[in-house]
Amino acid sequence: MTTDVFLTRTAAHLPFEPVSNEEIEDVLGRVGGRPSRARRLILRSNGIVSRHYAIDRATGLPAMSNAQLTAQAVRALGDDIGRVDCLATGTSLPDQLLPNHGVMVHGELGWPRLEVVSCAGVCLAGAAALRHAWLAVRAGEAERAVATGSELVSPFLMASHFEAEHAHKVQALEQHPEIAFEKDFLRWMLSDGAGAVLLERAPRGPLSLRVDWIELSSAAHELPVCMYAGGERDEHGVLQGYMRIPPQQWQAQSTFAIKQDVRLLNEHIVRATLGEPLRALIDRRGLRAAQIDWFLPHLSSHYFAEPLQQCLEEVGLPIPRERWFTNLATRGNTGSASPYIMLDELFRSGRIERGHKLLMFVPESGRFGSGFIHLEAV
């Protein structure tokens, strides 16, 4: 027997004041002591105008851990939420290899004993955490659950971790903006943040969102690794984990830097994460564009907005752009936290009305996966 599940509260934590495009290198540093020649071109393509870093400007050091960042978002749900039975967390970059991120967040919160789950991955880690929390409440195993998504990526983006940019890459950007996802340029794309939601068996307050369904799928059976860290691809394109790489090569090869195969990304991201899974969902769930009041796509860059729009039209779900909601421009790309931070802003905006239906879309380029979340305001 299952029960309805309601998303009753949202919260987000974005560390320190927003960092403008002109201030990025003041916080992250300048590679080789010189201003980047590629920064303006990349930022023009991705459309981000401000973001947040958990870096103390006075010291140039991280001011908090990922677990502390996540705990701040959870606390922002309020101190009156009641006893939580399940805490499900998702992140791409935990503070350590083990123990898992979830128990570190639990330790920061100091809550009584409860179920704790940690989901790994890239952008889908937060959506997977949400699905676990939703299923726990839906199955009657938990009365109240909290799900989170968080990223602390800024330590990986500091100038000391990057080699100087090559002129030929800057020139190539003029013809192919998608090359901005190369490892040298990801420092202009990614930023820090955390989000959290509370799930319960009954609505609460003036507005709640009934979680109708959450669908996740992977295309790893047909596509190789695209975005990765902590490994290197061999001459055959097969990812070799850091344990198979001599430690003395880790720094020389930037083994732990975040990397992305932009050719694979450009060729497959829309088809593999949106087009094919959405076609199946339209048939199985009876989705119709006229019935969706808000479409919340997790965009890594505004560069992909037009291809996404075209794909929606091709698969028969032409949601007009005025019904899209994204805060990428002002909050940045925070990976697995982005869907939470996006939903939190819309939830608090007063623009969601009773009866509104929301469709969230979360793509991931790690090895190409996607998530779709359908909610209705009650």
The CATH number linked to 277 is 3.40.47.10
pLDDT top residue among 168 and 364: 364
Residue with token string 């469709």: 359
Residue 335 lies in a domain: yes
Coil vs helix vs strand at 229? coil
- 215 and 149 part of one domain: no
Q: How far is CA 265 from CA 24, 98, 125, 218, 291, in A?
A: 25, 30, 19, 15, 31
- 133 and 241 part of one domain: no
- 109 and 32 part of one domain: yes
pTM, rounded to two decimals: 0.94
Please report the pLDDT score of residue 139 as a whole number: 97
Whether the Cβ atoms of residue 77 and residue 146 lie closer than 8 Å to each other: yes
The 10 Å Cβ neighbour count of residue 161 is 18
Least Cα distance to 215 among 361, 319, 346 occurs for 361
Q: What angle do CA 118, 120, 124 make, to 5 degrees?
A: 110
Please report the pLDDT score of residue 187 as a whole number: 84
Mean pLDDT, residues 12-26 taken together: 97
Among positive and negative, which fits the CA dihedral 307, 260, 239, 105?
Answer: negative
- 137 and 95 part of one domain: yes
Angle between helices 124-138 and 338-348 (to 10 degrees): 70
Whether the Cβ atoms of residue 84 and residue 114 lie closer than 8 Å to each other: yes
Whether the Cβ atoms of residue 148 and residue 89 lie closer than 8 Å to each other: yes
CA–CA dist 371, 159 (Å, integer): 33
Bridge partners (DSSP) of residue 211 are 375
- 35 and 123 part of one domain: yes
- 240 and 280 part of one domain: no
Residue 26 lies in a domain: yes
Coil vs helix vs strand at 29? coil
Residue 354 lies in a domain: yes
- 32 and 161 part of one domain: yes
pLDDT top residue among 205 and 289: 289
What is the span of the domain harbouring residue 325?
209-224+260-377
Residues 48-60: tens digit of each pLDDT: 999 999 999 999 9
Furthest-apart CA pair in the chain: how many Å? 62
- 247 and 265 part of one domain: no
Whether the Cβ atoms of residue 309 and residue 168 lie closer than 8 Å to each other: no
- The two counts, helices (H) then strands (E), for the chain are 13, 17
Please report the pLDDT score of residue 174 as a whole number: 61
Residue 159 lies in a domain: yes
User: Would you state the structure tokens that stand for residue 92, as one six-digit string?
Assistant: 């791409």
Mean pLDDT, residues 312-341 taken together: 98
- 297 and 175 part of one domain: no
Residue 1 lies in a domain: no
Amino acid, single-letter form, for residue 154: S
Residues 6+ apart with CB under 8 A from 359: 287, 292, 294, 295, 296, 319, 372, 373, 374
Number of separate domains in the chain: 3
Strand pairing category for 193-200 and 144-151: antiparallel
Residues 66-111: tens digit of each pLDDT: 999 999 999 999 999 999 999 999 999 999 999 999 999 999 999 9
Least Cα distance to 258 among 161, 134, 131 occurs for 161
- 196 and 214 part of one domain: no
Q: Please determine, for residue 183, whether its predicted confidence score (pLDDT) is greater than 60.
A: no
- 146 and 160 part of one domain: yes
Whether the Cβ atoms of residue 219 and residue 272 lie closer than 8 Å to each other: yes
- Do you know the residue count of the chain? 378
Residues 292-315: tens digit of each pLDDT: 999 999 999 999 999 999 999 999
Least Cα distance to 134 among 24, 212, 20, 216 occurs for 212
- 127 and 270 part of one domain: no
